[in-house]
Amino acid sequence: MAGKKVGWVLSNGIIGMDNQSMGLAAALGLNVTKKHLIATTPWRYLPPQLWINPLRFLGKGSDPLTPPWPDVVISTGRLTVAPALAIKRASGGKVFNIRIQSAYTAYDEFDVIVTPQHDQFVHPNGIQTITSMHHLTHQRIAEEGEKFAACFAHLPRPLVGVTVGGSNACYKITPEVGRQIGEQLAGMSAETGAGILLTPSRRTGAGVEAALRQALADTPCYIWDGKGENPYLALLALSDFLVTTADSVNMVSEACFTGKPVYVVELPGGSKKFLRFHESLRKGGYTRPFTGKLEHWTYPPLDEVSRVTREILQRMDSV
């Protein structure tokens, strides 16, 4: 397989998953179309191996999955497994089937399965990564930094970029936790003279954000209020240090892509997978626990997307 390929990204509407798939599609140089899929009852509640005729029983509002079939399909998320397998089968096996994260079933029918090493998935078709896939490029980050540079020029140096996630199945970020994080950041700023550029996520919640704002009220900082363009990429570009909460593999992965010192805020909760992920980054010299102190260290930017792309292209060329 060589030259420009047509690719479909199967989307279940979850932005974090779409960013991984679209990022890999762009890195592979595909002429890509995103196919939004809506699974109907009872299929959305069943494991993918129990889906019957996945291409037929997608819900109203789904994009059509009909010939001509693409050269490549990329899927992420449980609800896209059965459609991805059905497309490959309908094409007579000609579609190159790329899976990001667990495939749950029929592993041999995916040409590549990209999983984080903390999932401990081993298969001949597997590619293990230290971090998650993402849609960032160094050029895009630099461009966003230039766009927002004047907006944040008033903040003192060093500039500490802070990304705050929210509660999920493994971690809990309550207003009290938000207050503690804010007070720790305020103490760091008072000690070092650092400015703070903070962006909450969609999961942060009003109570946690309010607690952060109150704790940082007397600190030189900017906290994005959710209005206008998100300065997240500018934060990655302009900050001298990065601090991110432990709940998001994606946020930590994208921070390590910059090559800047990354501090991780430990949170109540966790899981074996998260613990393995954070331990691998600490041992690799990419991250350190956030204690309110600032130390500078260096490492090569962690660019797993480029490494995975090179390996996938080699496998595609051998087909």
Q: Which two tokens stand for residue 76?
A: 């992420």
> How many CB atoms are located within 10 Å of the residue 218 CB?
9
The answer to whether the CB of 199 falls within 8 A of the CB of 229 is no
> What is the model's pLDDT at position 3?
61
For residue 57, the model assigns a pLDDT of 75
User: Quick one: which H or E segment has residue 125?
Assistant: none
10-residue block means of pLDDT along the chain (319 residues)? 82 90 95 94 88 84 94 95 95 96 91 93 93 94 97 97 96 96 97 97 95 97 94 98 96 97 96 95 97 95 96 90
Q: Which of 92, 86, 85, 82 is nearest to 110 (CA)?
A: 85
Domains of the chain, start order: 6-130+305-317 (3.40.50), 138-289 (3.40.50.2000)
pLDDT of amino acid 2: 52
Q: Which of 50, 51, 94, 100 is nearest to 75 (CA)?
A: 100
pLDDT single digits (tens) 87-97? 999 999 999 99
pTM assigned to the model: 0.90
The string of pLDDT tens digits covering residues 282-298 is: 999 999 999 999 999 99
Residues 6 or more apart whose CB falls under 8 angstroms from that of 125 comprise: 107, 108, 110, 111, 112, 113
Q: Residue 196: how many CB atoms within 10 A of its CB?
A: 24
Mean pLDDT (the chain) is 94
Which helix (H) or strand (E) segment is 74 a member of? strand 72-76
Question: Does residue 116 contact residue 301 with C-beta atoms inside 8 Å?
Answer: no
| pLDDT score for 1 | 44
